[in-house]
Amino acid sequence: MKKIRYRAPLYEALLEYSKSGVIPFHMPGHKMGKGLPDTFSENISKFDITEINGMDNLHDPRGLVKKSEALAAEAFGSRRAFFLVNGSTAGILASILYISNKGARLIVQRNSHKSVYNGMILAGVEPEYIMPGLIQHFGIPGPVSPNDVNDALGKCHDAPAVLITSPGYYGICSDIKEIAQIVHSYNKILIVDEAHGSHLRFSKELPLSAVESGADIVIQSAHKTLPALTQAAYLHIGGRINGDEILEKINMLQTTSPSYAIMSSLDLARGIMEQEGQQRISELLKNIQILKTRLKECAGVKILEDARLDGTRLVVNVAALGMTGYEAAQTLREKFNIEVEMADLYNMVFVLTISDSFEDLDKLSDSIMKLCKRYGKGIAQGPDINRIPEFNRKSGLISASKSPKTIMHMDKAAGHISGAFLIPYPPGIPLVCPGEEITFEVLNFIMDVINVGGDVNGVDENLCVKVIN
Ligand SMILES: Cc1ncc(COP(=O)(O)O)c(C=O)c1O
């Protein structure tokens, strides 16, 4: 029979990737279906329905959706849970809209996800920044210090809330329990972007989850670390938050045709974790420990180990191999059929979940060891970029976002006001936000990063940046 071929490049690329035998150490947490029951995977297209009779309505849940959300609240320990079908992004935007009628500013850490910045622009809220620490050698953001939160609250009286990201992309957690106590002593609201930490609740061997730590609004990308479909996320609230008001904001941001495949995967992921999470995370952590022990024998790689680290996140520093993280990730892809979650100048980041088997992790440690032996160049890395230049705010984020902008070569940009974020990886902390001055120091820092093969978001391939007219 003649095979029909459609002109569908995206579909074809996915088909090829799905058949490639790749080992995915990236999101979503179900790892290309390995962590999902066959009944789910086989029926997914049949689950893709609309609000037919009996299936309830995400925007006004009274039946099945309400029941599933209540089970999620119970499992995660919150007062009320809401299903999100547009990722944590929708929950973060909704929570910032929620607090925006209570005050003009929001205390946020400088390395917040772009949805936090977009939320502030949409809601007309100005940021007051807290700087995270830096973890030397890895060049990545550390936790937020509770003292810094206290200082920010002491001087920023018109901020009704603090928004902290924990864990961050590299798995480092802040002390949310202590931060919650401080925030509540000022009678303010604590929002936690726990996009990377939906699994924390299900293991005593991992840092305490934000809901259990006393945060008021917690947003979790279930799809990142649980066996749930991409875009599936939860928003949890505690006693200080008005549930009807927050639902109103969520409804403004979500489609009126929510995917039942995504919603049911939120329901299923919660069910799986509730029943098997503790034991399977424990097994996963044991397997990770075996992998880490093997990698310690490997000269040239350094594994991130920190008391504040979510133990399921693996960060491998390859600087001493004389390679960038990008080069190492490319070698793993091309030579070993392993796909990493993210790479930066120094590091590779692997997302490990209960869907990864011992064999997957064994193959990973084997491949990294071969990478060291066969491809390592054994030379030390270039300049020290473990520093963050001071920022110099010239106008607010909101007015900068509304101003007309021009593209300009970096050579001419010193002294101009930036119209965009300039973010080097690592550390993934903005050097400059819209409305801040582009100084010589910033430009020198950016060139240092680019010259050693690093990426800077906001600088295009012609070394141009966006400035305010
Ligand atoms: C720290 C953080 N917060 C929020 C988000 C947004 O999550 P989602 O992709 O589920 O919208 C991300 C996504 O990568 C993230 O890394």
Gap from CA of 30 to ligand 1 centroid (Å)? 17
CA distance 89 to 253: 9
Burial class (CB in 10 A: 0-12, 13-18, 19+), 71: middle
pLDDT bucket at 383, cuts 50 / 70 / 90? low
Least confident interval from 308-312, 321-325, 404-408? 321-325
Structure tokens at 110: 């400088």
All CATH 3.40.640.10 domain ranges in the chain, comma separated? 38-273
Highest mean pLDDT among 200-214, 319-333, 366-380: 200-214
* pLDDT higher than 90, residue 375: no
pLDDT bucket at 379, cuts 50 / 70 / 90? low
Gap from CA of 223 to ligand 1 centroid (Å)? 10
Q: How far is residue 463 from each of residues 411, 412, 428, 458, measured CA to CA in Å?
A: 9, 11, 19, 9
> For residue 134, which amino acid is it?
L
To test the pocket of ligand 1, the residue of 83, 163, 196 to mutate (highest count of ligand atoms within 8 Å of its CB) is: 196
To test the pocket of ligand 1, the residue of 221, 235, 259, 266 to mutate (highest count of ligand atoms within 8 Å of its CB) is: 221
Are the C-beta atoms of 189 and 217 separated by less than 8 Å? Answer: yes
Show the ligand 1 pocket: residues with CB < 6 angstroms. 87-89, 113, 115, 165, 169, 193, 195-196, 221, 233
The per-residue pLDDT for 136 is 84
User: Quick one: which atom of ligand 1 is closest to the CA of 168?
Assistant: 1
User: Quick one: which atom of ligand 1 is closest to the CA of 89?
Assistant: 11
Gap from CA of 298 to ligand 1 centroid (Å)? 32
The per-residue pLDDT for 385 is 59
Structure tokens at 96: 């910032």
Least confident interval from 4-18, 303-317, 353-367? 4-18
- Segment (H or E) for 369: helix 358-370
Mean per-residue pLDDT for 103-125? 95
pLDDT bucket at 386, cuts 50 / 70 / 90? low
User: Quick one: which atom of ligand 1 is closest to the CA of 224?
Assistant: 10
pLDDT: which is higher, 97 or 323: 97
To test the pocket of ligand 1, the residue of 115, 200, 218, 313 to mutate (highest count of ligand atoms within 8 Å of its CB) is: 115
Cα-based angle 30, 292, 349 (whole degrees, multiple of 5): 50
> Nearest residue CA, atom 7 of ligand 1?
88
User: Quick one: which atom of ligand 1 is closest to the CA of 193?
Assistant: 3
130-152 pLDDT per residue, tens:
999 889 889 899 999 999 999 99
Q: Tell me phi and psi for residue 408, to 5 degrees.
A: -140, 145
Gap from CA of 195 to ligand 1 centroid (Å)? 5
pLDDT bucket at 428, cuts 50 / 70 / 90? confident
* pLDDT higher than 70, residue 273: yes
Gap from CA of 369 to ligand 1 centroid (Å)? 31
Residue 267: which of 93, 58, 90 has the closest Cα?
Answer: 58
Per-residue burial over 125-135, b if 16 or more Cβ lie within 10 Å, else e, is bbbbbbbbebb
To test the pocket of ligand 1, the residue of 113, 144, 219, 429 to mutate (highest count of ligand atoms within 8 Å of its CB) is: 113
Structure tokens at 306: 């920190």
Q: Which CATH superfamily is domain 397-468 in?
A: Orn/Lys/Arg decarboxylase, C-terminal domain (3.90.100.10)
- Give the whole-number percent of the chain exceeding pLDDT 70: 97
The per-residue pLDDT for 453 is 81
Mean per-residue pLDDT for 38-60? 96
As beta bridge partners, residue 432 has 422
User: Quick one: which atom of ligand 1 is closest to the CA of 92?
Assistant: 4
pLDDT: which is higher, 276 or 428: 276
Are the C-beta atoms of 189 and 216 separated by less than 8 Å? Answer: yes
Class level of CATH domain 38-273:
alpha beta
User: Quick one: which atom of ligand 1 is closest to the CA of 90?
Assistant: 11
pLDDT bucket at 58, cuts 50 / 70 / 90? very high
CA distance 25 to 208: 24
Structure tokens at 59: 């925007």
Number of Cβ within a 10 Å radius of residue 53: 4
Residue 174: which of 202, 142, 196, 149 has the closest Cα?
Answer: 142
Q: Would you list the DSSP string of 372-430?
A: IIII-------S-----PPP-B-S-HHHHHHS-EEEEEGGG-TTPBBSS-BEEETT---
* pLDDT higher than 70, residue 381: no
Give Cβ neighbours of residue 450 (< 8 Å, ≥ 6 apart).
Answer: 456, 459, 463
* pLDDT higher than 90, residue 451: no
User: Quick one: which atom of ligand 1 is closest to the CA of 112?
Assistant: 1
CA distance 421 to 434: 6
Q: 3-state DSSP call for residue 468?
A: strand
Number of Cβ within a 10 Å radius of residue 112: 24
Structure tokens at 363: 């193959």
Gap from CA of 25 to ligand 1 centroid (Å)? 17
All CATH 3.90.100.10 domain ranges in the chain, comma separated? 397-468
Q: What is the DSSP letter of 355?
A: T
The per-residue pLDDT for 237 is 98
Q: What is the DSSP letter of 461?
A: T
* pLDDT higher than 80, residue 377: no
User: Quick one: which atom of ligand 1 is closest to the CA of 221?
Assistant: 10
Q: Which CATH superfamily is domain 277-375 in?
A: Aspartate Aminotransferase, domain 1 (3.90.1150.10)
Number of residues that this document lists for the chain: 469
Gap from CA of 413 to ligand 1 centroid (Å)? 31
pLDDT bucket at 268, cuts 50 / 70 / 90? very high
Are the C-beta atoms of 314 and 350 separated by less than 8 Å? Answer: yes
The per-residue pLDDT for 424 is 86
Mean per-residue pLDDT for 217-242? 98
Mean per-residue pLDDT for 6-21? 94
To test the pocket of ligand 1, the residue of 26, 82, 85, 88 to mutate (highest count of ligand atoms within 8 Å of its CB) is: 88
pLDDT bucket at 2, cuts 50 / 70 / 90? low
